[in-house]
Structure 1
Amino acid sequence: MSGARWKRASPAASASVGFFRLPIEARNKIYQQVLVVPHPLYLFQDPGCQVETFAPETPYQWLALLYTNRQISNEARAILYGINRFTLQDAGQRQGSLLKSFLNCIGPVNTGLLSYLCIDFPATERTESQLGRIKLREDSVQSLQLLQKECTRLKTLEVLLYSQDSRDLIQTDQEINIKLVQEILSEIHLQFQDIASLTKIIVRVCNGSPASSVKEFMQGLGWIVLVGDRYVGAVGNEE
């Protein structure tokens, strides 16, 4: 068990010349052995504090490579951010703040290396002006726009669906207005498509169960729908 604060790397001055005689493929394998973990890296932020990570079963100084030498730091960061899965822990409207803080903290270069993020499913709410209509909550729209702008190599987006934030999707087929739900899901899909590099969308239902018509529509959009604690490995395999 370990915790670490995410901050910009400030590499030390020296490194072993012999290490750089190894081909980049060999160096990358070393970086992977040290920095890639088989589970998600869980990000959280207490009020007024820096973003921190919960990384089970990692050594206390497992990020030390990032502060060794400028070249090592650059190569290692590409592995750390490009292969690991990052999961935002804060739920609800606080998550947008956590996402922004995390991306600001690691900087634009590292943000551009991220390939796998896990966030909450975009939250919806009923509109006051049009009775019965559903719309995306503004904080969710802002988070998606941030991903579109900053995460230029994001390949996989996993979204966690909780009934309290998306209660209109967690209903029975008899209760649900499928036309309204299809409209909001299509709007969310358009937002996802605006993340230009994205190739995989995973919807994980964490509590409750979506109506069968909702699940079928999600799958028709090309989303992978999972229920419960199963997760997808770093290369996209269910585990």
Structure 2
Amino acid sequence: MKGSLSEHKAGNRRFTLYLPPSYSTDSGEFPAVYVQDGNSLFHDEIEFLESMFQQQRLPELVLIGIESENRLDEYTPWPAASLSDRFTDFGGMGYHYLSDITNQFIPLIEENWNVTREPHTRGMIGASLGGLISMFALLKYPSMFGKIGSISGSYWYENAAETIHISSLKPGPVRVFMSVGNEEGREKQSIQRHMLKKTKQVHQSLKEKGFTEDQLCLSIEKGAVHHRKYFCKQFINALEWLYGKNRSTL
């Protein structure tokens, strides 16, 4: 038995919906994971995910891959200058985006599909700028999400690590998975060269705020650069750490 992938639209926002093999409208409710950048982190991983469901390494999950209208605007928490002449400046519409997702988009998903509405099972995951805005979802809406996956999060972004450090975020019933490759940013001349250092700083800040080892994981992948093939691998690791059957139901 296999799950299903389908394309949908909510208002102007497109999304890809993955429903696991035993999904039905009259079965028990499934945890929902909201994923940045559409289905790019999971469309090649479905077969592997389903083998994990079968082996009971993971509970069956509903994945919602949200398409960004403009990721340089929607995944950045405030405006900043571009790092290169080839790109436009960062628009800094992240809080507007998060408000739309939490107040409009998620209620629509929960009304139309058989997913649990319990915050401790609700996940938000992304990579790169998507990983940055996923962490800011926790800062902005701490009672909304119980699982946060920040894969190669762009903590080099101007004032991002400092804002997390001085925030009043408290651990609460939440689990956070962070990952970064030890080669990320090494060849860059811009502030992106601080990728590894800034990720470690954010991890340290969360530890200082009281996040325990059971609530916070930092995976540093040896030899990994800033590339989708590593993001997809860490996406699976994130789901297993956040939702895996060997975890407590925090």
State TM-score, norm by structure 1.
Answer: 0.41
- Higher-Rg structure is 1
